[in-house]
Each structure stands twice: as structure tokens, then as C-alpha cells.
Amino acid sequence: MSTRSVEVEITEDIESLSGKAAEFVVRCIVDHVRLEERVAVALSGGTTPQGVYERLGSENFRNRIPWSRVHLFWGDERCVPPDNPESNYLAAYKTLISRVPIPPENVHRIPGEKDPEKAAEDYERTLRDFFRSSSGEWPTFDLVLLGIGSDGHTASLFPGSLALQEKKRWVAASCIEKLKSYRLTLTLPVFNHTRQVVFLAAGKEKAAVLKGMQTMGSKPARFPFQLIRPEDGRMKFFLDKAAASLIGQKNGS
């Protein structure tokens, strides 16, 4: 099977990117819960999604989502406690979770405070319990938000990371040399079983890795984010003009 669709929406700036992405998230959730009891959403860390979370938690958006039907997960987490400023959970809590009526039991954070390997095992168990999956199957997230680093990483799948080779486990703990720290991340097979992947990237520092966007799928992946190709799912990129500024330019130009 191959990715059903890859859409790219280029916006003027991060402000309009956040607004359009938030509208898209609402549409995805509302459309999904028409047919299904609940919707499984994996959030991204980093700064780019913060504007999206702030909008979803704002007066104009919060009442458009049936929060009791939404289950929040994370695509990755830093190995820190949930009250640490580095925590992806804390960032989403402040901008979104604390501002919407989502039942606490619907928020499934990655236990970054635990020993990394234990945290990975525990989170995989959390996912298996939720998706009621037996061994050998993969979970199917309905919506996954992902950022893209200036080195082409996504979630905590960094260039050269062993987690990129993981074919069995759902959650991997890896020591990221360049960050001198451990990270926890969902693995490529999990991301590639997602129904809808949304990439969010803004700023000129992302332009170089996005340059090869148009040949995604037809040429070998150079960056980890290009390995995200949901087998029977859809992908949408929300990029601001600065991040998209080199797309289509020939190599070397």
C-alpha cells in the first residue's frame, strides 16, 4: 500500500500556518467522530505546534471539538519530569490541555520521568491497552502532528539514530549524542500506520531540508522526516513561505 495523498499548504507566516492547521485539526477530529466513538491524536513537541495548540485552546476553537471523545498522546518526549520546562507534555498542557474540557483519563503522556527503557516499555503498554492490540499488530492513530528539525529529524527520530531501524517496538528510547540527552519516540512503523499525518514547519532554517520535498517517495530519503510515509494514510504539510522557499529549486542552486 502507499500513501493515499500528500498535500502541501504554504502560508504567509507562522500566524496563518497556525490558524489553518488548527482549522484542519478541527475538521479531522469532527469528521472522524461522526463515524467512530473516539479519536486518537498524537501531539508533537517543539515550538512550531504551540500556535496551533493555543488556537485549539482558545474561545473560537475549544467548543468546536468534542473533547470527551478525544484521546491525546505524544509522538515523542524528552526524558524529564512533566513539570520540567523541556517537557512536551507541559508545553501542550499550558497552551491546550489546561484550557479545554478534556477528561484527564484521555490524556496519555509519555512518562519521561522514568528510566528511558522503562518509560518506553510502559508507554508501549499504554498504547497496546488503548488500541487493544495484540502482539504483531500496529496501532492506528487517527491524527499525528509532527514538526521537522533543521537537520531533518521529526519526533525524536534523529539522523543516525538507532530508533530509525526499529521494526518491532512501538516506542524507542535513544540517547541523542548531539543533544547529550535521552529521548523517547514513537517508531517509524507506528507513524506509518497513521490515518492522517500533519507536518508543521516554519522559518528559513527549515528550507534546506524541505528543498527535496517534491521528490519525496521517488528518491531515497535523505532525512528522517522523509521516512514518514503512512502506508494507507494521508499526509499534509503546513509550511510558511520561509520554510518552503527552496522547494523546487535544483540542487546546488
Residue 2 Rama label (left phi>0; alpha psi -120 to 50; beta): beta
Pinpoint the alpha helices (H) of the chain: 14-35, 50-56, 59-62, 88-95, 116-131, 188-191, 207-210
Cell of 244: 518552503
Among 18, 44, 106, 161, binds ligand 6PG (CB under 6 A): 44
Q: Per CB under 6 A, which of residues 86..115 are in contact with ligand 6PG?
A: 88
E strands, the chain, where? 5-11, 39-43, 70-74, 76-78, 143-147, 171-176, 181-186, 196-201, 234-240
Is residue 210 within 8 A of residue 201, CB to CB? The reply is yes
> Rounded to 5 degrees, what are φ and ψ at 144?
-130, 125
User: What span, in angstroms and rounded, lies between the C-alpha atoms of 156 and 149?
Assistant: 10
Among 57, 111, 147, 233, binds ligand 6PG (CB under 6 A): 147
DSSP assigned state of 73:
E
Among 143, 155, 176, 216, binds ligand 6PG (CB under 6 A): 155
Judged by CB under 6 A, how many residues of this single chain contact ligand 6PG? Answer: 14
Q: Which residue has the cell 502541501?
A: 8
Among 46, 111, 230, 233, binds ligand 6PG (CB under 6 A): 46
Nearer to ligand 6PG, 155 or 188 (CB): 155
Nearer to ligand 6PG, 83 or 232 (CB): 83
Q: Per CB under 6 A, which of residues 207..246 are in contact with ligand 6PG?
A: none
Nearer to ligand 6PG, 83 or 103 (CB): 83
Cα–Cα–Cα angle for 42, 44, 45, rounded to 5 degrees: 140
Q: For ligand 6PG, what does the binding mask look like between residues 175 and 204, x meaning CB under 6 A?
A: ------------------------------
Q: For ligand 6PG, what does the binding mask look like between residues 50 and 89, x meaning CB under 6 A?
A: --------------------------x-----------x-
Piece of the chain touching ligand 6PG by CB under 6 A; list 15-23, 100-108, 130-138, 150-158: 150-158
45 is an interface residue for ligand 6PG by CB under 6 A: yes
Question: Binding residues for ligand 6PG, per CB under 6 A?
Answer: 44-48, 76, 88, 147-149, 153-156
